[in-house]
Amino acid sequence: MPKQPPETRKGAPQSVSWKLRGTTLSLDQPVLMGVVNATPDSFSDGGAFDTADQAVAAGHTMANEGAAIIDVGGESTRPGAEPVNVDEELGRVLPIIEGLLRGGLLVSVDTSKPTVARRAIEAGAVIVNDVTGLRDPEMRAVCAETGVGVVIMHTKGTPTTMQDSPHYVDVVSEVAVFLADAATSAMAAGVERSAIVVDPGIGFGKSYDHNLALLSAMGAIVDIGFPVLLGTSRKGFLGTILEPSRGSTAPKDRDGATAATTALAVAQGVKILRVHNVALAADVARVVWAIVQISHGKEENRT
């Protein structure tokens, strides 16, 4: 049987804010993280931006639509993706980060490389979003030293291998234990608790059934005691759900399905939603949050 998350962490109250480098982001209401991929091969928007200026403009559009954070990635993490070297990744992300910062936006860098993280932070990124869960001790040290916010994500394997028959005895409890332990390791390295957000890693080393099991039990991830980020946007398992009625769908045709998972996540206490279609997600999150507040006896202030 998989071990359970330590009782000292299970059920701990979530923070209502996220400490970032140089600022603090309120999590009193759901927060949106817009996705800008500076890669030719990302599953949804790979190759969408011919220039850094186009990517920066897309980030500003997302901010205007309601994204509090723009997440910039320079290496595809889609299933089967091959790694890129440090110099290539830096060449992709740094001009975009610098351009977004000139517009005063909060920027996250999506990377698992400590060197890329450090250079991105020096350029102005205030969050490191690491799909390997800060597994590398050097990455933990960079994050602790610079005081950035961190996203600790669960994955099994690498993008090249992660969908090769992933297996769990109990996916929910195993993911919860991994995230709790990874957060403990980060804090032992000097990362502040208030800087940590966790992500169950939907689609990263999980089968269709694993993804659905996690989505149906997000409360168990919330109960670890750290704010939770969820990234389901346009992913393949949504296409599998839609296929009987719609046939094969392109990633951009899955925004309605993504909205359904956004609603479910907000209702279960997820604080941050990583999405491609920010305008739609903003509407969904706003409506579900209003309903949740009423159900908790906290009527939302309206102006």
What's the one-letter identity of residue 141?
Answer: A
Q: 9, 140, 235, 271: which one is catalytic?
A: 235
Residues in the chain, pLDDT under 50: 1-2, 5-12, 41-44, 47, 303
Instruction: Encode pLDDT of 52-92 as tens digits.
Output: 899 999 999 999 999 999 999 998 776 666 778 999 999 99
Q: What is the pLDDT of residue 162?
A: 53
In this prediction, residue 121 carries a pLDDT of 98
- Helix axis angle for 255-267 and 208-216, nearest 10°, is 40
Sign of the C-alpha dihedral computed for residues 147, 272, 215 and 109 taken in this order = negative
* Alpha-helix residue ranges (DSSP H) falling in 70-170: 86-102, 114-123, 137-146
What are the domain boundaries of the chain?
Answer: 17-295
Q: Which of 274, 286, 298, 302 is catalytic?
A: 274
Spatial CA neighbour of 135 closest among 172, 101, 181: 181
Can you name the CATH fold of 17-295? TIM Barrel (3.20.20)
Quote the tokens at residue 284. 């969904």
Q: Label residue 213 exposed, middle or buried (CB < 10 Å: 0-12, 13-18, 19+).
A: middle
> 235 catalytic, yes or no?
yes
pLDDT number for residue 296:
74
Residue 246 is a catalytic residue: no
CB 286 within 8 A of CB 32: no
Residue 30 contacts residue 290 (beta carbons within 8 Å): no
